[in-house]
Amino acid sequence: MAFKHTYFYAVFWQRIKRNRLAMSGAIVVAALFLISLLAPVVAPYDPNSINAWSVLAPPSWQHWLGTDELGRDVLSRIIFGARISLKVGFVAVGIAVSIGTVVGLVSGYYSGLVDATLMRFVDIMLCFPAFFLILAVITIREPSIWNIMIVIGLTGWMGVARLVRAETLSIREMDYILAARCIGCSDARIIFRHILPNAMSPVLVSASLGVAGAILTESALSFLGIGVLPPTPSWGNILTSGKDYIEFAWWLSLFPGLSILITVLAYNLLGEGIRDALDPRVKR
Amino acid sequence: MTMYLVKRILMLIPLMLGITLITFSVIHLAPGEPVEMQMAMNPKVGKDARERLRKFYGLDKPLHEQYLGWVGKLARLDLGRSFSPDNRPVVDKIKERLPVTLSLNIIALLLEFGLAIPIGILAATHRDTLLDKGITVFVFIGFAVPTFWLALLLMYFFGVKLNWLPISGLHTLGSDGYGTVRYLWDLAKHLIMPVMVASFGSLAGLSRYMRSTMLNVIGQDYITTARAKGLSERTVIYKHALRNALLPLITLLGFSIPGLIGGSVIFETIFSIPGMGQLFYQGAMSRDYPVVMGILVIGAGLTLIGNLIADVSYALADPRIRQGG
């Protein structure tokens, strides 16, 4: 077993290493992690310190990316905004993947009525325009970073559930599952010990793409003023003031948008790279 | 085929019930009441008035009674009255807005498919060339651009800098007095940016999808056969491959409906377009439950019907599915 796993990861690593786009995605993601971790050290200014003498100042040597309507340094706010994006991305996707995996495993393993009920529930959830559902819940509860993460997670698990179910359906018929059943393993043990590890690789892909999606959703919500609330900087809410001052301060709109673009691009490239590396049909 | 159709239509009933149940619980299990919103505005309102308001809106009844009452009315297409000061029936409000959002999205959808299909074919037939790689880069960027940011950039360039296009609403003030041609031209100018924003995001995904189905079809034996018997590459691609590659797009059309309606919140808010998205946003912000619930149900219901139409057309187009069902 151990041998098989090392081999699997070695091949995976070999393949993804050669994919230049995926690697650049991975490097950007790693850099973002570092930046958010070290935000107080890297940021040139306190992201919330107001300076009445340099309001809406264009990019310069003092303020590389300019300042906003309160004279706060845009670069520092973007650096601290990276923290929010990462947090939202990972927690939301963590929730979505956990729910989706459990639903998919149970649905695929037990089949029959349980499967039919759960899958109809998935169908129903997929009918809702996700952004409407998220908007409704967040405005009715109050906007806060925790609510955003939970709601994005609760509305994003359906794809994972379908993926895991499909995997489970085929793994269930394998001989080693029959063997496990013969030696008297409980259902729970079979599901979590024997099926789960083998059904997880496609989930990795949708998790990576899911982080990208969650970051986009969070920024859109914050932009609309119902996500991360000021003064906490997030890329979305910097863009809100960008919109208000678009005629005088292009830097306030350009840079936070580019940050979102680059981050989302990096996660997507990484996700696609993982997909290709896992796909046996793609030639090496 | 008839059996298949009947089965699918019967299946709509439990799904629709599920939609109403989820909509209702999403709204009612959250703390806070619309009455509180109105109270907050006016501190002089006493306890009696509060109770009267709750009674007026039916919020004093137990949850299951509220649900049954709501679904019963829903079955007669009565979505209740808006909590907002105008107190109009929600159905009327939606009726006013739905055509705006739907027509805008249909234009965007036509544009998407009109562009994505040729782009996808181009990428597939020129696989691994510079052209394909260029398209791939464009697609990845398209996936990653936040739509509201794209809207801002367009507004800045075409609206503020160049002053070519109007940046908000659907009509210029006083356009009622224009002649037909001028009126339509004015409308078209207002629509350009919203339609661009609405179609841009999905364009990327769609062309990527088109590329992969096209590649899939080109790899099939019957394409090799067609080539082997000496047909021109044109005929092979456009007559033999394209038709089969277009099939899966039908399903995708059904799937894209919730995204289209959901995405409208962002560009309708930015461009101040009086559509469903804006209505929903305003409704949600003021805790106008009937409006929020009505739009959620209608949005999900439209998706359900869209998926049904997509599946049925797929079955009509592909005999393999028809016989399987």
| CA pair distance A229, A231, nearest whole angstrom | 6
B106 and B255 fall within a common domain: yes
B151 and B6 fall within a common domain: no
B107 and B70 fall within a common domain: no
Q: Where are the alpha helices (DSSP H) in chain B?
A: 2-28, 34-41, 47-57, 63-75, 90-125, 130-144, 147-154, 180-218, 221-228, 233-235, 242-270, 276-285, 289-317, 319-324
Q: Kindly state the DSSP code that residue B156 receives in the 8-state scheme.
A: I
Write the CB contacts of B5 (distance below 8 Å, at least 6 apart in sequence): B312
Least Cα distance to A204 among A7, A8, A28, A2 occurs for A8
Task: Please tell me if residue A85 touches chain B, with a CB cutoff of 8 Å.
Answer: no
Contact A79, A47 (CB under 8 A): yes
Question: pLDDT tier at A45 (50, 70, 90 boundaries)?
Answer: confident
B69 and B102 fall within a common domain: no
B314 found inside a domain:
no
pLDDT at residue A259 above 90?
A: yes
Distances in Å between the Cα of A32 and the Cα atoms of A37, A207, B52, B81, B101 are 8, 17, 54, 48, 38
Higher-confidence residue of B3 and B58: namely B3
| CA pair distance A44, B179, nearest whole angstrom | 58
B143 and B278 fall within a common domain: yes
According to the model, what pLDDT value does residue B161 have? 80
User: What's the mean per-residue pLDDT of chain A?
Assistant: 87
B161 found inside a domain:
yes
pLDDT in tens, B297-306: 988 888 888 8
Q: Answer whether A265 sits within 8 Å of B281, measured CB to CB.
A: no
Q: What is the CATH number of the domain that holds B179?
A: 1.10.3720.10
How close, in Å, is residue A42 to chain B by CA atoms? 26
B205 found inside a domain:
yes
Write the CB contacts of B185 (distance below 8 Å, at least 6 apart in sequence): none
Q: Answer whether A265 sits within 8 Å of B144, measured CB to CB.
A: yes
pLDDT above 90 coverage of chain A, percent: 38
B304 found inside a domain:
no
According to the model, what pLDDT value does residue A2 have? 46
B69 and B195 fall within a common domain: no
pLDDT in tens, B64-99: 888 888 888 888 877 778 777 777 888 888 888 888
Contact A120, B15 (CB under 8 A): yes
C-alpha B270: how far from its chain's center? 17
B322 found inside a domain:
no
According to the model, what pLDDT value does residue A284 have? 42
How close, in Å, is residue A137 to chain B by CA atoms? 7
By the 10 Å C-beta count (0-12 exposed, 13-18 middle, 19+ buried), B178 is classed as: middle
* Residue B100 CB coordination number (10 Å): 19
Least Cα distance to A205 among A159, A151, A261 occurs for A159
Q: What predicted TM-score, i.e. pTM, was given to this entire model?
A: 0.86
In chain A, residues 254-283 whose CB comes closer than 8 Å to chain B: 254, 256-257, 260-262, 264-265, 268-269
C-alpha B202: how far from its chain's center? 11
B127 and B217 fall within a common domain: yes
**Which chain B residue shows the shortest CA-CA distance from A141?**
B30
Question: pLDDT tier at B34 (50, 70, 90 boundaries)?
Answer: low
What's the average model confidence in pLDDT over B233-241?
84
B110 and B248 fall within a common domain: yes
How close, in Å, is residue B167 to chain A by CA atoms? 12
User: Residue B287: its chain A contacts at CB < 8 A?
Assistant: 139-140
Q: Answer whether A128 sits within 8 Å of B156, measured CB to CB.
A: no
| CA pair distance A137, A123, nearest whole angstrom | 20
pLDDT at residue A138 above 70?
A: yes
Least Cα distance to A277 among A26, A33, A34 occurs for A26
ipTM of the complex: 0.83
B169 and B23 fall within a common domain: no
Residue whose tokens read 């041998």: A3
Distances in Å between the Cα of B323 and the Cα atoms of B7, B12, B309, B310 are 14, 21, 18, 17
According to the model, what pLDDT value does residue A266 have? 93
pLDDT in tens, A12-22: 888 888 888 88
Task: Please tell me if residue B253 touches chain A, with a CB cutoff of 8 Å.
Answer: no
Owning domain of residue B12: 2-75
Local structure of B61: helix, strand or coil: coil
Instruction: Report phi then psi at B89, rounded to 5.
Output: -60, 135
B146 and B246 fall within a common domain: yes
| Partner residue facing A129 (CB), from B143, B148, B261 | B261
| CA pair distance B104, B278, nearest whole angstrom | 13
Helix (H), strand (E) at residue B162: none
Which of A258-267 are b and which e, b meaning 16 or more Cβ less than 10 Å from the residue's Cβ? ebbbebbbbb
**Which chain A residue shows the shortest CA-CA distance from B277?**
A132
Local structure of A122: helix, strand or coil: helix
Total structural domains within chain B: 2
pLDDT at residue B246 above 90?
A: no
B192 and B49 fall within a common domain: no
Q: Answer whether A137 sits within 8 Å of B26, measured CB to CB.
A: yes
pLDDT above 70 coverage of chain A, percent: 96
The residue out of B45, B75, B105 marking a domain boundary is B75
Task: Please tell me if residue B53 touches chain A, with a CB cutoff of 8 Å.
Answer: no
Q: Kindly state the DSSP code that residue A57 receives in the 8-state scheme.
A: P
B147 and B40 fall within a common domain: no
